[in-house]
Structure 1
Amino acid sequence: MKKKLSVLALAGVMSLPVAALAGGEVDVEDLERKILELSKQLEELKVQISRQAETGQATSEQVAELSDVVDDMEYRAYEWDLAARFKFSGDFRSRYDFYNAETVFGRTLENDSLFTNRFRLNLQVLATENVEFKGRLAMYKTWGMQSAFSDESGAIWPVFDGNVSRSPVGDSALYVDRAYVNWNNVGGAPVWISVGRRPTTDGVPAQIRMGVDERLATPVAFMDWPFDGFVLGYGYQWGNESLGIGKIRFCYGRGFEDGLQEDSVINDVDFAGFNWDVFDSGDRLLNVQSFMAFNVFNYPNFQDPIINANFGDMSGLGARKTLGNILHTDLVYQASTGNWNYFVAGGWSQSRPNENGMFNDYAAMAAGLSGPETDENNGYAFYAGLRYDIDDLRLKVGAEYNYGSEYWLALTPGHDDIYQSKLATRGQVFEVYTIYDIPAGEAISRYGKAFIRLGYQHYEYDYSGSGDWNMAPYDLGNAGDRMMLQMMGLDPVESADQVYLTFEAFF
């Protein structure tokens, strides 16, 4: 640009004499004046060119800086994209419980204020397009304790693999509650494989009374046992909006590892079976599950080495040993219509003992009147509930009822009822509850919610030993059976009342 302007100025200067000569006269003063004007214009042009050069330099520097910023932003965006793969969520619950129980022989057991805190942190992340990891850490403890609290009813088990992170009898450590990897769309088909610490607690329809309204686990709530294993699943579409989708899963898991032993008298405890969402349309779900628990033990391996070393002698059950198999089949149907949510569920259990027996009558065996119970025994359960949502009041009101027969077995060491698992009860349980969504502003994320839950449970036991397959279920209303319990020094709970109040936040 500078060169072009200089050439034009020079051409203008050279043309002046020519123009003057063409006129026939030469006006020297006028020529000098015009030369001075052109020189002045030339100087002004030089100044402008200099300024443009400075501006261009500044612009170049700004462009360079902007380029650096863009590069930095691209790097950060890449890093943010990596970080965005990790999805965190969690929940916190503080809970108050009042518990009162009456035993068969007239004792009154009471805990008028049990406070607990539970914190859980969820993680989800994609490793590849079709491989994802899901995990959950959990802390669950009693206020004022870093160890198990006293329980004269005998209902609370020490910490073992089937209740760790699910029972407030340990310390405030974070435990791995769930950790598994899903390989989805295997071979481009609606098939998935999942392996790890399984999501097998708080299964359907427990989420209704827990105020979550999203399915929290695969199995029906009669199976509430955290364990490690794998799943092979297949999903399908019904092609009918009212039926939605379906999923069938083959499940395998390990509930106890026997280790390396010589002439072992106890074997690995394994689970195998299927869980089938026959149809799931969002507001309706029909689920069927059936599984076998193989080589069940008389009592598990406990985390505390002192308890584990002495539990056999303390309980009178002797050394740990294998007792046989348990077959379990459950069905649940849940639905919602308008503001109503409801469900019905049923369960069947069957003991298949080996020579060591299950449901043994220890009093009769001690007297030499019988041996181990090696016959199969069938148990049955019924469970139903409904909840009505009063949206204008931010309130939900619900009621539930469940019944278990004499030989009913629910595999629920991971239950969320503090003392006694209500779904394992050989008898009946009534429960009423309310859930109040607190007016705390809009949710920050799709996980966000906060509510208060208030509930009451009443337990009526017909038979002893709920949830146990070792000892015969003695009839608590039969004088002869009560005498045998007394001879063995046992005084089981006959009825109980529990009130709970929770403050819960999901984030």
Structure 2
Amino acid sequence: MNRPLLLSLAAAALLSTNLSAQSMYERFEAMEKEMNQLKRELSALKSSKSPTKTDEEEQEEVASSVTSTEDETVAVAEDKEEEDDGEEIATNEDRIYELEEAVSQLNRSTSGSHLKFKVDYRFAIENMNYTMADGREAKNNAFMTNRLWINTAYKATNNLSFSAQFAYNKAFGERSGASDAPTNSFEGFDWIANENAYDDKLRVRSAYFFYRNTEFMGLDIPWTISIGRRPSTNGHLINLRDDDKASSPLGHAINVEFDGLSSKFVINKNTGTYVKFCAGRGMSNAAPKFSSTPYAEVSSDNTNIDLAGLIFVPFDNKQYSVATQYYYANNLIDAVNPNDQTAGFDTVGGLHSASINFTAKGIGNEWSNFLDDSTFFVSLAATVTDPKDRGVSTGMLGSADKETGTSYWIGTQFPSLLTESGRWGLEFNHGSKYWRSITYSEDTNIGSKVATRGNAYEVYFTEYLIEDILSLQLRYTYIDYDYSGSNGFFGSTSGNSMRISDIPTNSAMASQVVDKAQDIRFYIRYRY
């Protein structure tokens, strides 16, 4: 009798027999161990036949949330997007599929909790310093934070899974009443609700279902669809210094929380070519619940903020990859008065954004162990404003006309050489006068370095103390702004782009504009 049939009979026996909870648990654990052993065998077989890490196919959003939150019992099945390397591998893949189906069926039929949980806790202490345009300094020598992510996931079938992440991000002693920041502040804005350290509330950072299939309308086109609160922060490239799995977006142009959907279609498995469509809503124009017309649109300049775009990856062989991204965001906003945060926002226009990056995960082909374990990337991006009522209103970023902004980003990450598992990283960013990224959720408390209109420099060192469970990082970020408004919104109030050297040092504006900023951060992080 063949192995798949044995597995099916074993699963049927487990489900049809009146077993005690202890007996079912023991059999369930045995199946878990066998499945994990088969996965290790399959990984070894593939590694022996291919120099690239083909069995580590990135799962887009599922990899950033589901794979990092579920244990191996309910982990999302690895993409089988490559040609079979032989009958032995194909047989092992069938065995894994059978085991996963049996485990999923057993999970659905038992009375215990089906959700799997993991935690990610980080303590950080930062020394931050700002030099304003008038020469004044502002600083915090020891800003301390607790950040907790609680990850939960459930894989109902091989095709359908669900993931969610709850986040708590709090400055030490924030509820002391000494700070009025959480009262009437933009810190609670939907794009950054879980990225800023202020209160002790636990919020939903992401929640979505993920469906995948190997065929689309009868065609051999693997595809996915996902809807919910998006895992849209810590995207490609920015994830390297954050020591996280990359979420779907290219981090050069967008790094915010939002609600929406995405759908990916694999065009060519051999070259890793795929296209991914994304859409989301960043702000809703709706009346409050207890108004005379609950949730109807209201008369306001602040209409719905919607974003739509696509990611196109023409080539990705797991070592070298090229990725492109385009999106358009409409009805973007600016503060009516940044000094009066209760005054609200005005709609100012839309934004086109395009970016392209090249990444090498391992430089050359076995030139040296050091280069094999090094990563290098370069990314180029451009934005074009689309002001509302051009030539009449105050426009966007200080101009009533369409303006083009550009940015480039170069970085590398390489082994420590001083320790066994440590890694160094070096990055440089440059942005022009009208460069405008939507990267408010970037994990840099002095402001998004990617959004810099000027130059940003960064160096970091990450060390793993106990496997990948306990780690530490020391990071230094220095930003030299050429123009104001890098971390503002999109209009000509907080987003106004003026050359800092042209701002009179004795003006009121000079006391509000940051010229230079630096941040030295140390963290220790527990993930399990």
The answer to whether 1:321 aligns with 2:341 is no
In structure 2, relative to structure 1, the CA distance for the partners of 1:381 and 1:286 (3 Å cut) is: same
Query: Could you tell me which amino acid in structure 1 is paired with residue 378 of structure 2?
Result: V
Q: Give the structure 1 partner of residue 196 of structure 2.
A: 167
Q: Distance in 2 between matches of 1:163 and 1:87?
A: 26
The answer to whether 1:494 aligns with 2:515 is yes
Q: Give the structure 2 partner of residue 231 of structure 1.
A: 262
How much identity, in percent, do the aligned residues show?
24
Q: Which of 451, 454, 471 in structure 2 is aligned with 1:424?
A: 451
Query: Could you tell me which amino acid in structure 2 is paired with residue 322 of structure 1?
Result: T
Q: Distance in 1 between matches of 2:426 and 2:209?
A: 36
Q: Distance in 1 between matches of 2:323 and 2:453?
A: 24
Q: Distance in 2 between matches of 1:205 and 1:190?
A: 25
Q: Within 5 Å, give how 1:336-485 maps onto structure 2.
A: 336-337=361-362, 338-355=372-389, 356-359=393-396, 361=398, 373-390=399-416, 393-438=420-465, 440=466, 443=467, 448-468=468-488, 469-471=490-492, 472-478=496-502, 481-482=503-504
Indicate conservation of the 8 Å contact 2:428/2:455, yes or no. yes
Q: Report the alpha carbon displacement of residue 84 of structure 1 after superposing the two structures with TM.
A: 7.9
SS at match of 1:146: helix
In structure 2, relative to structure 1, the CA distance for the partners of 1:312 and 1:149 (3 Å cut) is: farther
Unpaired runs of at least 5, structure 1: 1-66, 300-310, 362-372
Q: Give the structure 2 partner of residue 257 of structure 1.
A: 284
SS at match of 2:383: strand
Q: Report the alpha carbon displacement of residue 345 of structure 1 after superposing the two structures with TM.
A: 0.8
Q: Which of 268, 278, 282 in structure 1 is aligned with 2:304?
A: 268
Indicate conservation of the 8 Å contact 1:180/1:196, yes or no. yes
Q: Report the alpha carbon displacement of residue 148 of structure 1 after superposing the two structures with TM.
A: 9.4
Query: Could you tell me which amino acid in structure 2 is paired with residue 358 of structure 1?
Result: G
- Number of matched residues? 400
Q: Report the alpha carbon displacement of residue 121 of structure 1 after superposing the two structures with TM.
A: 1.4
Q: Distance in 2 between matches of 1:270 and 1:279?
A: 29
SS at match of 2:239: helix
Deviation per residue, 1:16-44 (Å, 9 max, x gap):
xxxxxxxxxxxxxxxxxxxxxxxxxxxxx
SS at match of 2:400: coil
Q: Distance in 1 between matches of 2:396 and 2:338?
A: 19
Deviation per residue, 1:196-241 (Å, 9 max, x gap):
00111011112221234x32343334300100001122123342xx
SS at match of 2:156: strand
Indicate conservation of the 8 Å contact 2:436/2:451, yes or no. yes
In structure 2, relative to structure 1, the CA distance for the partners of 1:100 and 1:336 (3 Å cut) is: same
More helix, by proportion: 1
Larger deviation, residues 129-138 vs 404-413: 129-138
TM value normalised by structure 1: 0.73
Q: Distance in 1 between matches of 2:174 and 2:340?
A: 24
Indicate conservation of the 8 Å contact 1:273/1:292, yes or no. yes
SS at match of 2:235: coil
Indicate conservation of the 8 Å contact 1:332/1:346, yes or no. yes
Q: Distance in 2 between matches of 1:465 and 1:198?
A: 27
Deviation per residue, 1:74-112 (Å, 9 max, x gap):
665546975585333231111110011111111111100
Q: Report the alpha carbon displacement of residue 255 of structure 1 after superposing the two structures with TM.
A: 0.5
SS at match of 2:507: helix
In structure 2, relative to structure 1, the CA distance for the partners of 1:147 and 1:427 (3 Å cut) is: farther
Q: Distance in 2 between matches of 1:399 and 1:431?
A: 6
Q: Give the structure 2 partner of residue 296 of structure 1.
A: 332
RMSD: 2.8
Deviation per residue, 1:42-61 (Å, 9 max, x gap):
xxxxxxxxxxxxxxxxxxxx
Q: Report the alpha carbon displacement of residue 312 of structure 1 after superposing the two structures with TM.
A: 4.2
TM value normalised by structure 2: 0.70
In structure 2, relative to structure 1, the CA distance for the partners of 1:269 and 1:72 (3 Å cut) is: closer
Q: Report the alpha carbon displacement of residue 330 of structure 1 after superposing the two structures with TM.
A: 1.3
Q: Report the alpha carbon displacement of residue 150 of structure 1 after superposing the two structures with TM.
A: 5.7
Q: Distance in 2 between matches of 1:498 and 1:293?
A: 31
Indicate conservation of the 8 Å contact 1:298/1:317, yes or no. no
Q: Distance in 1 between matches of 2:263 and 2:21?
A: 44
Larger deviation, residues 81-90 vs 344-353: 81-90
Q: Give the structure 1 partner of residue 37 of structure 2.
A: none
Q: Report the alpha carbon displacement of residue 252 of structure 1 after superposing the two structures with TM.
A: 0.6
Q: Distance in 1 between matches of 2:525 and 2:341?
A: 41
Indicate conservation of the 8 Å contact 2:387/2:400, yes or no. yes
Q: Distance in 2 between matches of 1:107 and 1:140?
A: 29
Deviation per residue, 1:409-446 (Å, 9 max, x gap):
010111100121111111111111111111x3xx5xxx
The answer to whether 1:198 aligns with 2:230 is yes
Q: Give the structure 1 partner of residue 205 of structure 2.
A: 177
In structure 2, relative to structure 1, the CA distance for the partners of 1:319 and 1:395 (3 Å cut) is: closer
**Radius of gyration: which is bigger?**
1
The answer to whether 1:109 aligns with 2:129 is no
SS at match of 2:436: coil
Q: Within 5 Å, give how 1:22-171 maps onto structure 2.
A: 70=19, 73=22, 78=106, 82=110, 85-146=114-175, 157-169=186-198, 171=199
Indicate conservation of the 8 Å contact 1:334/1:342, yes or no. yes
